[in-house]
Amino acid sequence: MMKKNKKVLLVGWDAADWKIINPLLDEGRLPALEKLVNGGVIGNLATLDPPLSPMLWTSIATGKKADKHGILGFIEPEPTQGGVRPVNSTSRKCKAIWNILHHHGLKCNVVGWWPTQPAEPINGVMVSNFFQKATISYKKRWDVTDGAVFPNNMTYLLKSLRIHPAELTEAHILPFIPHAEKIDQDKDQRLAVLAKIIAEAATIQSVSTYIMENSSWDFMAVYFDCIDHFGHAFMKYRAPKSDLISDEDFEIYRNVIDGAYIFHDMMLERLIKLAGEDTTVVLVSDHGFYSGHQLPARLPKIPAAPALEHRPFGIICMNGPDFLSDERVYGASLLDITPTILSLYGIPVAHDMDGKVLTTAFNNQLKVNYIDSWENVEGDFGMHPPHLQENTINAAAALQQLVELGYIDDPGEDKNKASEMAVKELKYNLSRVLSSSAKFNEAIELLEELKLTDTDDYRFILDLAKCYLRVSDINMAKENIRFLKSKENINSDYIYILEGVLLARQNKIHSALRVLKKAEERLPLLPGLLNELGQIYLNLFRYKDAQNIFEKILDIDDENASAWHGLSIAFLRQYDYENAADSALNALGLFYHFPQAHYHLGEALFYLKKYKESAEAFEISLIMNPKLIKSAQWLKKIYTIKIKDSKKNSVIDSLLMNYMKGEVIIVSGLPRSGTSMMMQILQAGGIAVLTDNIRMADNSNPKGYYEYEKVKSLVKETAWLAEAKDKAVKVIAHLLRFLPPEYNYKVIFMQRDIYEVVSSQQKMLGRSSETYPLVIAQSFEKELEKVQVWQTKEPNIDLIYVDYSKIVKDPYPVLEQINSFLNHHLDVENAAKVIDGSLYRIKTNS
C-alpha cells in the first residue's frame, strides 16, 4: 500500500567520509549533522568498483550496478557529431527512483544529480548537473545549457539564482583560507579553484531552497559535488603534514577540507529546516576520501587516476519518523538507497535491483513488497521519449560506419581519437563492473577486445591476469603476466604480487610466500599485498602469522573488510571463537554481501553454541552464494544434532541430494599409530574395507598394511572415493584435508604416543634406536594440530580419537565406543579377536 503522506529529502555529499566528519562532530563543529546523527541511523556505505561518480550516483538512484544502468564513465562519444561529451541522462537504460515515484503520482524535485542532463520531464522540477557550471568569465553572457532545467519555463527564474565564482568576496574565501593574502594569484590558481567550487555549491543550494520553498513536493534530491572536488584539490594539505608538502602550502591550505564540511553543514541545516519536521532526511556519499598517510602520494598517469584517492566507504545517515534513533546500520551499500526509500513510500522494490532494503534501520517491522522489475511496467514514468535514449558506444560505432560509408563527413582526427578513447574507457569501466560482480568470463571477453586495440595500456593486461587467476586459467594468467613483464613502464612490484598470487593458486605456497615477501620489502604498507600474504599464512596453517598480518592491515585501515575476514579465520583456527565472531561481524558491518564472512561467522557461532544464530549465518551465506555447499552441510549438522528441526532438515536434504555422494569410513593417524590394526578390527567386525593388498605384510606389519594405492594420489585425484562408499579406507593424517566435500566421513583417528610412533618408524626404516629425531617428532605434532583444526572446520566430518595403547590393553570399552560411533554396525566380539597385544612392541615406558 503506497503511503502518500511521506516526504523524503535525499542529500548527496560526494566523497563525504566519516573519518573527516567524526573529529569535527566531536568538536561540535557540525551541529546540523550532529542532530541528524543523534536522532537517526548511521553507517558506512560501501561503494562499487570503479568508484567513479556518474556511475555511483546512478547506482544510488536506481539500486542497480552499472552493467544494468548503463552509465559507465564521465564522458561518452557524442552520438551525432562525433567527438565526446559529458555523460548524458539519455544513456541511462533503466528507471531512476524519481521515475518510479513519478509513476505513482508523487512530486519529485531533483537538483544537480549526476548525470541528469538533459533534465527529465518529471512531475516536479529537475535541474541538471550542467546547470551550475560557470563556463564563462564574469559579466559575459552566461547562458544556461539547453535542457538543463525542467520545466523549461523555470529556466529564466533559476538562472538568476546562480552564483559566479567572480562574485565571491574575501568573506567567502577567508573561512577556508585565513591567510589568502599570502597567495600570488598570478602564479597560484588554487584560490580560483576554491572559488569555483564554493560558487557551484552555493548555486545548488540557492536553486534547491527556492524549489523547496516554492513548490509542494514528496521527494527532493539534492546533490553537491564539492566535498569531492575540495578533496582532490586540497586533501593533501590537511594535517598531518606530508613530507611532500611545503610548510608554506601547508599553512595556507590546511583548513580548506574542514571548512568544506562546515560549509556543507550550514547548507544542510537550511535544507532540513525547509524540509520540515516530519520529513525523512537521508544523507549519503558515494565513496569516502583517503586522508592522512592513506592518501596516495602520487597518482599514476592513467585515465580517472584521481579515483584512486577514493576510499571504498561513503556515509549514510537516515533520520525520520520511520527510522531508529541513535543507532547504526551495518553492511549498507549505495545500491540499497533506492530500495530503502521505495519501501518508505510502500512502493514495491524490484527483484532486478541489486540492492536491498535496509530493514534493520526501521523502528517497526517493515513489510517490503516486491515486483519483478519496473522496467517492464508500461505507463508514464516521466522519462525521455525512447528515441532520445541512446547507447553511445553503439552510436559511436554507427557514426564511424556512416563516415566510412561516406554518408557523413569525418568529424576530424581529434574528434575520432577522443571518441575512440571514450569508448575504450567506457568498455574498461564495464569490465571492472563485471569483474567486481564475479562475472569474470564476461570481463575477460571485454578486456581481450581492449588488449587488441591497445597493447600499451597495462591496465587491460593487469586486469586480464587477475581475471584469469579468478577463473583458474593459470596458463592465460601466466601469459598475461609474462606480457606485463615485457613492458618497460610498469611498476614491477605489482607484477611480483601477481606472480605470488599465481604461485599460490598453483599450490606452490612456499614459492608464493617467497615472492610476496620480496614485494613486501618494497611495499611494506600495501594492504592488497599484505592480504595476499595473510591468505598464504592461512594456507600454511601459520595462524598466528596470519593474525599478525591482518592486524597490520587493520592498523593501516581499520575498515578493510577482507582483513577483518582474514583475521576472523585466523582466530577461528586458533579456537578463539569470540574474536573470530567479532572479526567476521566487523567484516560484514563493512560489506554485507560477503558470503564467506557469513560462513565463517556461522562457524564461530556454532562453536560458541549459538546454534540458531549460526544457522542464520549459514543460511545467509548460502542464499548469497548457492555454490557454498559447505554451508548446507553445516546446516544439516545443526538441524540434525543441535536444533532438530525436521522441516528445515528436509529442505537442506533436498539441497544436498544432488551433491552428496554418500558416506565413507576413514581410518587415519600418523604412520605406525595402529591404523592397520584398526582396519583389521573393522574387517573382523563386519565392516567392508577398501584395500588392494599391493603392499604386502612384512615384519613391521605381519598382518598386512590394509592400504589402497590410489589414496596416495588424493591431492590430485578423488574419483576413486566412489569405490570407498560405505566402506573403510585408510588415509594417513597428512592427506585428510584433501578429502573432497561431497562425501560425509566417519573418521577413526588413531592416537599413539609420539615417541612410540617415531621410534617405531625408525625401527621400520632400519635406523638406530639410539637417536631420537626431534625435528620429525615436532613436525608430526604439528600435523596432529592441523587435523584438529581440519576437524573443526569441516562440517561433513565426524571424528573419534582412539588411543592405541588403551585398545590394545583393554579392547572392549573402546570397541563399544567405536561401535556406537559406527551406528552399531560393528560386531564387537569378532573385532576383539584380532587385537594382538604382542604386536605392541615399542612402548614409552619400555
Partner 1 sequence: MVSKINNKNDSEIVQPQGSLGLLALGFRGLIAWRKTRLNHKNKQNSHHDLLNTNDEKE
Assess 197 for contact with partner 1 (CB under 8 A): no
Q: Give the x-and-dash track for 617-656 against partner 1 (CB under 8 A).
A: ----------------------------------------
Binding to partner 1 in span 271-290, by CB under 8 A:
273-274
Euclidean distance between CA atoms 573 and 566, whole angstroms: 11
Among 108, 125, 161, 329, binds partner 1 (CB under 8 A): 161
Residue 547 CB-half CA count within 13 A: 15
Among 101, 127, 163, 316, binds partner 1 (CB under 8 A): 163
The secondary structure of residue 364, as a DSSP letter, is: S
* Closer residue to partner 1 in complex, CB, 161/670: 161
Query: Burial of 272 by CB count in 10 Å (0-12 exposed, 13-18 middle, 19+ buried)?
Result: buried
Euclidean distance between CA atoms 83 and 403, whole angstroms: 13
Q: Which cell numbers in the block locate residue 125?
A: 522540477
Among 267, 344, 601, 733, binds partner 1 (CB under 8 A): 267
* Stretch near partner 1 under the rule CB under 8 A, chosen from 23-31, 147-155, 259-267, 658-666: 259-267
* Stretch near partner 1 under the rule CB under 8 A, chosen from 114-122, 124-132, 166-174, 481-489: 166-174
* Closer residue to partner 1 in complex, CB, 109/333: 109
Euclidean distance between CA atoms 699 and 760, whole angstroms: 12
* Closer residue to partner 1 in complex, CB, 201/604: 201
* Closer residue to partner 1 in complex, CB, 213/521: 213
Assess 216 for contact with partner 1 (CB under 8 A): no
Q: Give me the least distance between CB of 232 and partner 1, in Å please.
A: 21
Among 1, 171, 452, 765, binds partner 1 (CB under 8 A): 171
Q: Give me the least distance between CB of 261 and partner 1, in Å please.
A: 12
List CB contacts of 473: < 8 A, sequence separation 6 or more: none
Euclidean distance between CA atoms 47 and 724, whole angstroms: 49
Detail the DSSP E strand segments found in 689-823.
Answer: 728-730, 744-751, 797-803
Euclidean distance between CA atoms 124 and 107, whole angstroms: 5
* Closer residue to partner 1 in complex, CB, 74/210: 210
* Stretch near partner 1 under the rule CB under 8 A, chosen from 44-52, 136-144, 264-272, 773-781: 264-272
The secondary structure of residue 323, as a DSSP letter, is: B
Q: Which cell numbers in the block locate residue 786?
A: 592441523
The secondary structure of residue 288, as a DSSP letter, is: E
Q: Give me the least distance between CB of 206 and partner 1, in Å please.
A: 5
Assess 202 for contact with partner 1 (CB under 8 A): yes
Q: Residue 671 is which amino acid?
A: P
Euclidean distance between CA atoms 238 and 257, whole angstroms: 7
Assess 175 for contact with partner 1 (CB under 8 A): yes
- For helices 577-590 and 595-607, the axis angle rounded to 10 degrees is 150
Q: Give me the least distance between CB of 211 and partner 1, in Å please.
A: 9
3-state secondary structure of 339: helix
Task: Judge whether 296 and 60 are in contact, CB under 8 Å.
Answer: no
Q: Residue 495 is which amino acid?
A: I
* Closer residue to partner 1 in complex, CB, 276/412: 276
Q: Give me the least distance between CB of 194 and partner 1, in Å please.
A: 12
* Closer residue to partner 1 in complex, CB, 2/266: 266
What is 585-642 written as a DSSP string?
Answer: HHHHHH-S--HHHHHHHHHHHHHTT-HHHHHHHHHHHHHH-TT-HHHHHHHHHIIIII
Q: Which cell numbers in the block locate residue 115?
A: 548525470
Query: Burial of 698 by CB count in 10 Å (0-12 exposed, 13-18 middle, 19+ buried)?
Result: exposed
The distance from CA 66 to its chain's CA centroid, rounded to whole angstroms, is 16
Among 180, 193, 266, 784, binds partner 1 (CB under 8 A): 266
Q: Give me the least distance between CB of 195 and partner 1, in Å please.
A: 12
* Closer residue to partner 1 in complex, CB, 170/829: 170
Q: Give me the least distance between CB of 10 and partner 1, in Å please.
A: 17
Q: Residue 417 is which amino acid?
A: K
Q: Give me the least distance between CB of 12 and partner 1, in Å please.
A: 17
* Closer residue to partner 1 in complex, CB, 259/320: 259
3-state secondary structure of 239: coil
Binding to partner 1 in span 512-571, by CB under 8 A:
none
* Stretch near partner 1 under the rule CB under 8 A, chosen from 60-68, 198-206, 392-400, 436-444: 198-206
Q: Give me the least distance between CB of 132 and partner 1, in Å please.
A: 13
- C-alpha separations of 712 from 25, 380, 783, 789 in Å: 63, 68, 17, 22
* Closer residue to partner 1 in complex, CB, 266/366: 266
For residue 49, give the nearest of 244, 275, 254, 310 by alpha carbon.
310
* Stretch near partner 1 under the rule CB under 8 A, chosen from 201-209, 358-366, 375-383, 710-718: 201-209
Assess 209 for contact with partner 1 (CB under 8 A): yes
Among 89, 116, 129, 205, binds partner 1 (CB under 8 A): 205
Euclidean distance between CA atoms 151 and 620, whole angstroms: 46
Angle made by CA atoms 196, 230, 258, in degrees to the nearest 5: 120
3-state secondary structure of 1: coil
Among 11, 207, 465, 757, binds partner 1 (CB under 8 A): 207
Among 172, 190, 517, 727, binds partner 1 (CB under 8 A): 172
Task: Judge whether 224 and 201 are in contact, CB under 8 Å.
Answer: yes
H/E run at residue 554: helix 543-556
Q: Give me the least distance between CB of 171 and partner 1, in Å please.
A: 4
Assess 195 for contact with partner 1 (CB under 8 A): no
* Closer residue to partner 1 in complex, CB, 222/615: 222
Burial 515-528 (b: 16+ CB within 10 A, else e): bbeebbeebeebbe
Among 168, 408, 651, 754, binds partner 1 (CB under 8 A): 168
Among 29, 133, 270, 542, binds partner 1 (CB under 8 A): 270
* Closer residue to partner 1 in complex, CB, 214/778: 214
* Stretch near partner 1 under the rule CB under 8 A, chosen from 163-171, 531-539, 579-587, 669-677: 163-171
Assess 206 for contact with partner 1 (CB under 8 A): yes
Helix and strand element counts for the chain (H, E): 33, 20
* Closer residue to partner 1 in complex, CB, 200/520: 200
What residues line the site for partner 1 (CB under 8 A)?
161, 163, 168-172, 175, 198, 201-202, 205-210, 213, 263, 266-267, 269-270, 273-274
